[in-house]
Each structure stands twice: as structure tokens, then as C-alpha cells.
Amino acid sequence: MFNIHVASVYGFCKGVESSVRTAEKMIEEAGGRPIYSIGRLVHNNRVVDDFSSRGLRVISSPDEVEPGLALIRAHGITRELKKEFEDKGFTLVDGTCRIVAANHRSCAAAVNPVLFFGIKGHAETLSTISNCNTRCYVIETGSDFDLVEPSEYYDVVIQTTFSSVKIEEFKAIIKERGMKVRYHNSICAASMRRRISVDELCRICDTIIVVGEGQSANATELYNIVVSHGVKGYLVPGAEYLKEEMYSGKDIGVCAGASVYPKDVKDLVAALEERGGMIVQDR
Ligand code: SF4
């Protein structure tokens, strides 16, 4: 027998929730007409497959299909791609998370070179930095600072789900190099709340199962937090990936990334109960 501790916060964040609701409304109102999502709705195959089966087709370029109704997902899209879709005659529904959109505006308003703390090539990174009108450097590791050309001041914008540890590391580098910067934001509150709930679990669990996929920045960050605490961690998309080693400990924690259906978390918890686990109310 083992204890199951469920994170105090899990499931869709407001940005994903809003994108998903918008997609559902589009499906309802489409009446069978083709509707599209520009890029994958969220970084979660289950959610994307579910919406595909209901008629929301993922496209990446306006040349793939005849113009129609297309959703901009929570991560946003680049300024250039948006224009391409508009020029081809698509009607765009903007599902960009309002917090991501605020970062777009910060980049657009920056008058100094922008240091963007984020994951290179990530959809949110690409959409956000496309709004810069000044030089922009994506800083993913400390060595990226070596490529930054000298300037009197810099504007710093941070990816909403970026690693808290790396942010502190980069702030220390900035201080050490005497760079003058203005910070525009920090990690979004939804990401922060999920991280705090995982920190809490780490204090009481020997194993933590993170429900989510490796392509999701926030689920990966939750997993990284778990292992950084020296706790045994697993990142799995759902209950069917459970293996005995994942619940061989005494106190098993369960948490989830922000693009995971709450039902997938509940199913995994139910599967753990079937295997002898007992839910413990920690609060
Ligand atoms: S994690 Fe934060 S910024 Fe990203 S979609 Fe969710 S609420 Fe928006």
C-alpha cells in the first residue's frame, strides 16, 4: 500500500482554458465548414488529437489549404506569419494568452536591445521576439550572454514558463557584468502556482509523477523541479504509461502541466488507487 498526494494546483491554466474554449466555440459555430488551428493548439497530443477528431485541423502555412477560419493558439504566432494568413484572406481568431500578448507588447515597445530569456525555437519564443523592433538575443544558457553586443541599456523579457533557476542564474550574470537592464515581467502566475505546488509535494513524496509531455515547457520544468529536489520523477502523458517502479515508494505525488486535461490526472490517480494507493488529503 502507498499514499497518493495530489498537487494543490493542476490542469489547464487560464490561457490554455481560454484557447480550448475558443476552439470549442469555433467547432460549434462552424457547422461543418473547415476550421484550422495555426500550429498545435497546445503542447499535448491528447488535446490536439481530440480537437482534430472534432474538425479542428492543424496547419502551419496559409498555402496548405483554402482560406477559412483559423485560430491563433495561446502561444501566439509570429508577426510575419500573421500577416501571411491575413494577406491570403483567412479570418483569424486570436487565442493568444493575454499574458503572452503582454510580452509581445513589451518587445514591440522596447527601445533598447532585448534579452529574451527563453527556449530557442519554442513557439512562444518565436511569436514574442517577432515583435521586437530592436536587436534581440534569445538567452537560453549562460553562454548566450557571450554573443550579446555591448549597449548602454537592455530590456529583459522572460518566457512565461521559463526555468526559475535559470532566471536567477542570468540575473547573477547580468549583475556580475554590470549590465543595465529593465525587467518587463517574470514567469506567469499560473506557472508559478504549479511550481509551488510541486515544491510542496517534494517535501513529502519519494516519487512524483508529472502528467504531461516532453514537448511542453511547463510540464518539463515541473519534472526538472522534482529531480532537482532529489525526488524520483517521471513525466508521462497518462495512466496507460504507469509502471510498477513509479509506485514502488511510500508517498507518490501527482502533478500536471498546464496543457493537460484534468480528466487525465484524475484517471492516473484512479489507476494508482486500483494498484493499492490511498489518497491522502494534505491540506
Ligand atoms: S502558462 Fe501562463 S502564459 Fe502560458 S498560456 Fe498559461 S496562463 Fe498563459
pLDDT per residue as tens digits for the range 131-186: 999 999 999 999 999 999 999 999 999 999 999 999 999 999 999 999 999 999 98
The residue to mutate among 188, 194, 218, having the most atoms of ligand 1 within 8 angstroms of its beta carbon, is 188
Atom of ligand 1 nearest to the CA of 188: 2
pLDDT at 98 over 80: yes
pLDDT at 124 over 80: yes
Strand-strand pairing, 251-256 and 2-6 = parallel
The Å distance, Cα 51 to ligand 1 centre, comes to 20
- Percentage of the chain modeled with pLDDT above 70: 99
CB-based contact 233:207 (threshold 8 Å): yes
Q: How confident is the model at residue 126 (pLDDT cuts 50, 70, 90)?
A: very high
Domain boundary assignment for the chain: 2-12+189-279, 14-96, 99-183
pLDDT at 282 over 80: no
With 0-12 / 13-18 / 19 or more C-beta atoms within 10 angstroms meaning exposed / middle / buried, residue 238 is: buried
Instruction: Classify the phi-psi angles of 76: left when phi > 0, otherwise alpha if psi is within -120 to 50, otherwise beta.
Output: left
pLDDT at 43 over 90: no
Taking residues 62-91, what's their average pLDDT? Answer: 96
The residue to mutate among 9, 14, 192, having the most atoms of ligand 1 within 8 angstroms of its beta carbon, is 14
Is CATH 3.20.20.10 what the domain over 14-96 is classified as, yes or no? no
Q: How confident is the model at residue 251 (pLDDT cuts 50, 70, 90)?
A: very high
- For 144-201, give the DSSP string: GGGGPPP-S-EEEEE-TT--HHHHHHHHHHHHHHT--EEE---S-HHHHHHHHHHHHH
Q: Are the folds of 2-12+189-279 and 99-183 the same?
A: yes
pLDDT at 283 over 70: no
pLDDT of residue 281: 84
The Å distance, Cα 259 to ligand 1 centre, comes to 9
CB-based contact 74:96 (threshold 8 Å): yes
Q: Which residues pair with 183 in a beta bridge?
A: 156
Atom of ligand 1 nearest to the CA of 98: 8
The Å distance, Cα 220 to ligand 1 centre, comes to 15
Please write the tens of the pLDDT for every residue from 184-237: 998 999 999 999 999 999 999 999 999 999 989 899 999 999 999 999 999 999
Atom of ligand 1 nearest to the CA of 14: 7
Average pLDDT, the chain: 95
Q: Mention the CATH class of domain 99-183.
A: alpha beta
Atom of ligand 1 nearest to the CA of 124: 4
Supply φ then ψ for residue 69, to 5 degrees.
Answer: -90, 125
User: d(Cα 247, Cα 209) in Å, to the nearest integer?
Assistant: 9
CATH topology of domain 2-12+189-279: Cobalt-precorrin-4 Transmethylase; domain 1 (3.40.1010)
pLDDT at 32 over 90: no
